[in-house]
Structure 1
Amino acid sequence: MSLDDISHPARTGPDELVPSRYALRIGEIDVLVVSDGVLPLPTAMLAHNADPAVRAAWLDDMFLPPEAFDWSLNVVMVRSGGRTILIDAGLGLDPDLNLPRAGQLIRRLASAGIDLASVTDVVLTHLHMDHVGGLLVDGVKERLRPDLRIHVAAAEVEFWEAPDFTHAVMPPGFPDALRATARRFVNEYRSRLRPFDDEREIAPGVVVRRTGGHTPGHSVVRLASGGDRLTFAGDAVFAVGFEHPDWHNGFEHDPEEAARVRIRLLTELAATGEQLVATHLPFPSVGRVAVEGDHFRWVPAFWDY
């Protein structure tokens, strides 16, 4: 089934009270944003280098709870030039961290009528567990085609051989879970990995480019067709990063470089006017970037039915 066939909402089950997928087109490229669920995380993770009072004021202005709130998990399916591409794979199974509302991707792809065997390529923005775990769910590997290509930056694979969490500030349990999931993923899929150095075209108009920052091999995916453009930014951009791009996220392995990457990317997106999707922006996270004074502003797209 092509992505064209699922551009309109299908009947949802009793446990799906809100939409969990959103389709759009970038020129001749079909795009489907799929929600993998949400991660409840401490609000301090948004900005561990910020004054707590300033951070609390931002949360209050955004009508968000002061201690913890739900981070969206967005995954993207793309079809271009006869290739069907999964960009990131969600959390998968709960890694003993009490995250029961995440890891919905495989079920939601099935409800959208997407056969895992139709996926020709997987692009991973990085190897954090909420981006690769869906491929570790029991039975998934056996359903994937034997010639599946998994594209990930070579620097990312190298980093996870001996990850350095010196500059990250994560809740207890997360470092061990991240390390174990990345190790398991590389061991299980090593023969299908297609590492790249800086940039690679996956299909017509679909290019993955390494940015670094969040992790050494963190990458973004740019889509371009017929004058339309969209960037999937992975974890380079969080909701707070528009107004405070210099705030450090707790999962960033090089916070200073991550801030520089974020500012460069947002500046570019504001200049081009292209659309943006990111992993942890509120679903479906489709929008654009504007410059407002000395910071940025996220402009969510109007939903197109």
Structure 2
Amino acid sequence: MPSAPTGRPRVDDRRVINGMVYKIRTGLPWRDLPDRYGPWQTVYTRFRRYALSGVFTQALQQIQAQADAAGDIDWLVQIDSTIVRAHQHAAATGRKGGCVDRNEPDDEALGRSRGGLTTKIHLACDGRGRPLALLITPGQRHDGVCAQPLLERIRVPRLGPGRPRCRPAHVIADKAYSSRGFRTYLRKRGIGHTIPEKADQQRHRRNCGRQGGRPPAFDRETYRRRNTVERCFSRLKHFRGIATRYDKTTASFEAAVSLASFLLWARSV
């Protein structure tokens, strides 16, 4: 964890991190943190600092690198997304001129629907149901649009020399990701994929006759493993601060999901 070389005596890192985990686990406001975690201002300030500097993302990549070095990662990657309702406190940013932080989007990944404000978590997990990469978008963003940016976020460093591992061996996804552009992208990268074809795409291909080409390969036995990513979402939503979004900014909510993902990895290695 980063530390300041000068200043007041530093509050114990374990104590502060436990406060962050307790907040995400219960979903309570920062001001209501129990006294055993120290001043809530200290816990919040350090969480916000770590969120903006990407500390939790780096910690997640580090534990992934250790698992990859031990051959513990199943590179049969599954991708999917889930909708998260945003609490009314998440929309109260208090800024009228848009986002002042250039590292965060102006909409703060909050989308409007009939049910209210929503956020979508796009997730790529390995064959054992552990998060490899995540992407936060507004709730109305289509899954197929975010498939390529999500896969490009997979970056598992090497403990020794060498480039990070960025390419899955195989990708499993549902019909929402069935598009010619995404399949072409996977073929160019040499990534095998198991994605069912939509009914309208099947009709269009048959109507084109020989010009429609052959149907894409689809292995039903491999596709049955897609429930792994659903179980990963279920474990992440055991954290009430992730099942319902209370964070006002995208950086804070993404940091909360990254911290929860790190805990899932820590329990499995």
TM-score range with shorter-chain normalisation? 0.3 to 0.5
TM-score (norm 2): 0.33
Q: Which of 1 and 2 has greater Rg?
A: 2
Bigger fraction of residues in helix: 2
The structure in which a higher percent of residues are strand is 1
Point out which structure has higher relative CO (alpha carbons under 8 A, 6+ apart). Answer: 2
